[in-house]
C-alpha cells in the first residue's frame, strides 16, 4: 500500500509565477484609488481571494468606498489581470514543475489543483499543463478562502483520497495553515522563514524528485 496517494498543488507561485501580473493589476487599482501599492505589500495578498485582497488594499491606502464601487473595482482588477495573462505560455512554468508532475504520474500518484484563482483553467491551458491534473478546484467552486481547508478538502473528495495520504504544495502561509487545518501533509515552496508552519520546505521543484518529498515526510 502506498504511503501517499495524491498531491494537491496551489497555482500562483507553485506551478506558475503569476504574482507579477496580480501585482500590476492591483497596483493599477491602487493608483486609481490615489496611492502607490508596493511589491512588498503585495506579499500580504499571497493565497488570498480577490475580495479579501481588495479589503487589504483599501486598508493599506486608508480608503473607504461603497459596496457598489467595491464590485466595480473587483471586476476591473480581473479584466486587467485577464488582459495581462493572455499571452502566457509554457515558458512561464516554474523550473522543475513539469518534470515533478510527470514523476508523480509515472508513480500513479493522483494530481489535483487547489487554488483561490478563478482563472486557473485558462492559465493551465495556456501553459499546456491542464492534462496532467485529474481534478481542478478553483475560486469558482469554493465559498471559503484559505486558511479554511475547503479547497483542498474538495480536491481530496473528488480524487477519493484521505487527507493524511495527500500532500499539499503551497507558497503562502495561509495555504499551509489551510492544509494543516484539513489534516493534509504540507510542503512549503519558498523560504523557511516565511513558511515555518509547513512540515517541509523546498525552494522550488528544480532538482527535486518526488521520492525526495516522500522520504522527507515519512
* Residues classed as catalytic: 10, 12
Asked whether 149 and 179 are in contact (CB, 8 A), the reply is: yes
| Residues, the chain | 218
* Beta-sheet strands, E only, within the chain: 6-9, 110-114, 135-137, 166-170, 185-189, 200-202
Q: From CA 183, how far away is CA 165, in angstroms rounded?
A: 9
Which neighbouring-strand residues pair with 185?
167
CA distances from 92 to 21, 128, 218 (A): 12, 11, 32
Asked whether 124 and 113 are in contact (CB, 8 A), the reply is: yes
| Exposure letters 101-127 (e unless 16+ CB within 10 A, then b) | bebbeeeebbbbbbbbbbbbbebbebb
Amino acid at each position: 500500500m502506498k504511503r501517499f496517494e495524491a498531491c494537491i498543488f496551489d497555482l500562483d507561485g507553485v506551478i506558475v509565477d503569476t504574482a507579477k501580473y496580480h501585482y500590476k493589476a492591483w497596483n493599477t487599482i491602487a493608483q486609481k484609488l490615489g496611492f502607490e501599492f508596493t511589491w512588498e505589500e503585495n506579499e500580504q495578498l499571497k493565497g488570498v481571494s480577490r475580495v479579501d485582497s481588495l479589503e487589504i488594499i483599501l486598508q493599506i491606502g486608508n480608503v473607504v468606498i461603497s459596496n457598489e464601487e467595491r464590485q466595480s473595482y473587483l471586476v476591473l482588477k480581473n479584466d486587467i489581470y485577464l488582459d495581462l495573462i493572455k499571452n502566457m505560455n509554457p515558458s512561464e512554468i516554474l523550473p522543475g514543475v513539469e518534470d515533478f508532475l510527470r514523476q508523480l504520474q509515472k508513480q500513479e500518484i493522483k494530481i489535483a489543483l487547489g487554488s483561490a484563482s478563478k482563472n486557473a483553467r485558462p492559465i493551465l491551458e495556456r501553459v499546456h499543463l491542464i492534462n496532467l491534473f485529474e481534478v481542478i478546484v478553483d475560486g469558482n467552486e469554493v465559498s471559503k478562502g484559505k486558511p479554511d481547508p475547503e479547497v483542498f478538502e474538495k480536491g481530496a473528495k473528488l480524487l477519493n483520497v484521505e487527507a493524511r495520504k495527500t500532500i499539499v504544495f503551497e507558497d503562502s502561509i495561509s495555504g499551509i495553515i489551510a492544509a494543516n487545518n484539513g489534516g493534509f501533509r504540507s510542503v512549503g515552496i519558498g523560504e523557511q522563514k516565511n513558511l515555518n508552519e509547513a512540515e517541509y520546505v523546498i525552494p522550488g521543484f528544480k532538482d527535486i524528485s518526488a521520492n525526495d518529498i516522500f522520504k522527507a515526510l515519512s
